[in-house]
Amino acid sequence: MNPKKNLLLLHGALADKSQFDGLIPLLEEEYSVHAISFPGHGTEPLGNYQFSIESFSAFVL
C-alpha cells in the first residue's frame, strides 16, 4: 500500500480555503489534502503579516 501524496491547495487573492470545500472530498481518496487560508483571509487574522505575496509565501514556508 502506497501512502497518499500530499496536496496543498492555495486560494486566490480575494478568497479563503472554503472555496475548496466541494473539491476536497473528490481528492481525498488519492491525496492527503491540506488547505489553508492566508493571513487576513477568511477567519485568519492578519496578525504581523503584511498583505503581500512575499508575506504569504513566508507564511506557507
Q: How many CB atoms lie within 10 A of CB 29?
A: 7
The boundaries of the domain holding residue 9 are 5-60
For residue 10, what is the DSSP state?
E
Residues 6+ apart with CB under 8 A from 8: 34, 35, 36, 60
- What pLDDT, on a 0 to 100 scale, did the predictor assign at position 4? 94
How many residues in total does the chain contain? 61
Instruction: Assign 25 a pLDDT band (cuts: 50, 70, 90).
Output: very high
Q: How many domains does the chain have?
A: 1
| Radius of gyration, alpha carbons of the chain | 13
Ranking 13-17, 27-31, 46-50 by mean pLDDT, the lowest is 46-50
pLDDT at position 32 over 90: yes
Pairwise CA distance, residues 7 & 22, whole Å: 15
